[in-house]
Structure 1
Amino acid sequence: MRILITAGGTSEKIDEVRSITNHSSGKLGKAIAEAFLAENVTIDYVTTKQALKPDNTQVSIHLIESTADLEAKLKELLTKYTYTSVIHSMAVSDFTPESSVTIEDLEATIATEPNDLPTALKEKIRERTEKKISSDTDYLVIVLKKNPKIIQQIKQLQPETILVGFKLLVDVPMIQLLDVAKSSLEKNKADFILANDLSEINGETHHGYLINRQHKVKEAHTKSEIAELIKQEVLSMEESK
């Protein structure tokens, strides 16, 4: 049995020394990997340099930084290997910087009344010769563009894999959290979604709901409980095939 796990959080470059990232530690992904290791599986673990990682010879670590890196690595692995399950717990950046300019550059570009402001700003960036944005400006304006939804590519590349996705919201009612998770199941062709609320995550405490395609919900209250629940549901689904 071979499992693919993504964990940690992507980082998107602003320039050669600055990035936009998130607070994902990789603790849950590490716990999930350790739960599956008890079943003597082979694990490909895609993560970032900063995230916590499992330490076991059965785990192959694949380091990435950006969402583009993640997209390329998953395409490579999903083409090369057949996976019983893909557990996509990584916190992927929704947006990546397309351009960054000073407020003076922005004002000057707008003053030209361009038909396509993002393109005009990219042209302004090309005029910059330094690889690090100067800190002399009081305001830096960053233009972000939407990243592709990586989870939507997984079933396209490997339709038979058991896909576990994750949905994180912040301080919402349970019914809203589960409704969003149900929508994510359909949109991403996932087999399970782990729905969790940031306001209910603190250290090992991690309240989450695992929902399947029949909309049956199982609850867990810690990272280790979530990891064990995901493992048992994946193994049960694989056995029933």
Structure 2
Amino acid sequence: MSELNGKRIVVGISGGIAAYKSIELIRLLRKSHAEVRVVLTEAATHFVTPLTLQAISANPVADSLLDPQAELAMGHIELAKWADCIVIAPATADLLARLAVGIANDLLTTICLASAAPILLAPAMNQQMYRQAVVQQNLSLLQQRGLKLIGPNDGEQACGDVGAGRMSEPHEIFNHIQTALSTEQPFKGLKVTITAGPTREAIDPVRFISNHSSGKMGFALARAFAEQGAQVSLVAGPVNLATPQNVRRYDVESAQQMHDVTLSLAPQQDIVIGCAAVADYRMQTVAEQKLKKTDDSEQLVLTLVKNPDIIAAVAALSAQRPFVVGFAAETQAVLDYAAQKLQRKNLDMICANDVALQGQGFNSEHNALTVLWKGGQQQLPLSDKYSLSQKLAALIVQQYRASQS
């Protein structure tokens, strides 16, 4: 029987072209024997019809806060109390802004304010709108208040633009709903440290050496562990990402800082995962003043020295050594290099990904991994990074518990 059997879910739809995808989401929920009530904003009625949604959900569709018949029984309060979960897909920039400041000027926003149920938001908008600072501030504020974001994805949009802002696919949203309503916490009691993002190695006061890592994979992994009950410490390089709920974050800049924080945490952890893209080298001497361009020289020579290998240092601990998982981001001979790192650094597992492939790896919303350990390997196919992280977290814990027995 489905985990969603008998669960009561309000599906809110706001006025965006992605509203058509919500029909498939409702179908998936009904197929899993969930009870579904649909709430439309006025703008949403221009994209999908109440008649269609009523047929798919097998329940009347609500679209007005001031419907005399519904409000005779305080309909908005009834729906708010009825819901085990509220999911809004698509969540437009306008709806996000109204939720962020607490405006309740239609049925959907009123239900959100009147409900204690978990609220999931699947943003969908033009890529330029999504990048606006005010939209990002609203998203961050909503996350801080406990609302959960699903996506958005990268890709081609209805307007012809390409970029972040596409609503997550119905099956991805469905998976998030299952996780939000799960009462199990299979990772409870586990202590996990994860490194994420790039490091920055200063050249002078205004320049640095870094890489293209966005930190999205490490942050998604931290969220996946935390949602399953693990106590998560996230050691993050310079990234522009909100801290996942129930995760303790340590912000660092350089590889040496990341090394120091991670090594101080490692002896108290069950699992340490090195997901960060740590710079291999740093300046031998950081210039105290900005380096100037000279007219008589066509070259600038920088003297670099090796940074400490963080994940190898954790794996080399003689006392209180945790289960150690590394990442190998490669552009060629991916599995060969990963297998060599697994052995050379004495890791328990390693996650190999080909960052040369378009649409996955650095700065992408998607990724694919081949996970190797002593005596085995498993392919995790291309998917959004959160869904991938859920599968990876389960595999890591499975191998960790096998090692303990």
> TM-score by structure 2 length?
0.48
Q: What CA distance in whole angstroms lies between the structure 1 residues aligned with 2:224 and 2:375? A: 25
**Aligned equivalent of 1:118:** none
| Larger strand fraction of residues | 1
Identify which of 352, 355, 365 aligns with 1:204: 365
Q: State how 1:29-108 maps to structure 2 within 5 Å.
A: 29-56=218-245, 58-79=246-267, 82-99=268-285
SS at match of 1:179: helix
Q: State how 1:1-241 maps to structure 2 within 5 Å.
A: 1-56=190-245, 58-79=246-267, 82-99=268-285, 131-137=289-295, 139-157=299-317, 160-170=321-331, 172=332, 176-200=333-357, 202=359, 203-222=364-383, 223-240=385-402, 241=404
**Aligned equivalent of 2:68:** none
SS at match of 2:260: helix
Amino acid at match of 1:155: A
Amino acid at match of 2:213: S
Distance 1:19 1:4, change over 3 A: same
Distance 1:227 1:13, change over 3 A: same
Cα distance, 1:236 vs structure 2: 1.4
Q: What CA distance in whole angstroms lies between the structure 1 residues aligned with 2:197 and 2:391? A: 20
Say which is worse superposed, 202-211 or 10-19, in terms of deviation. Answer: 202-211
> Residue 8 of structure 1 contacts residue 51 of structure 1 at CA under 8 Å; is this kept in 2?
no
Cα distance, 1:205 vs structure 2: 2.5
**Aligned equivalent of 1:111:** none
SS at match of 2:222: helix
Larger Rg belongs to: 2
> TM-score by structure 1 length?
0.78
Cα distance, 1:140 vs structure 2: 2.4
Q: What CA distance in whole angstroms lies between the structure 2 residues aligned with 1:228 and 1:201? A: 22
Amino acid at match of 2:352: A
SS at match of 2:301: strand
Q: What CA distance in whole angstroms lies between the structure 1 residues aligned with 2:344 and 2:239? A: 30
- 1:98-156 residue CA offsets vs partner (Å, 9 max, x unmatched): 248xxxxxxxxxxxxxxxxxxxxxxxx7xxxx622124455422111222222110122
Amino acid at match of 1:134: K
Uncovered stretches (5+) of structure 2, i.e. residues with no partner: 1-189
Q: What CA distance in whole angstroms lies between the structure 2 residues aligned with 1:210 and 1:228? A: 14
Cα distance, 1:12 vs structure 2: 0.3
**Aligned equivalent of 2:51:** none
Q: What CA distance in whole angstroms lies between the structure 2 residues aligned with 1:215 and 1:178? A: 13
Uncovered stretches (5+) of structure 1, i.e. residues with no partner: 101-124
Percent of aligned pairs with the same amino acid: 28
Q: What CA distance in whole angstroms lies between the structure 1 residues aligned with 2:325 and 2:305? A: 26
Q: What CA distance in whole angstroms lies between the structure 1 residues aligned with 2:368 and 2:264? A: 33
Q: Calculate the aligned-residue CA RMSD, in Å.
A: 2.0
How many positions carry a matched residue from both structures? 206
Q: Give the structure, 1 or 2, with the largest relative contact order (CA under 8 Å, sep 6 or more).
A: 1
Amino acid at match of 2:290: K
Q: What CA distance in whole angstroms lies between the structure 1 residues aligned with 2:202 and 2:355? A: 25
Cα distance, 1:194 vs structure 2: 0.7
Q: What CA distance in whole angstroms lies between the structure 2 residues aligned with 1:238 and 1:215? A: 14
SS at match of 2:212: coil
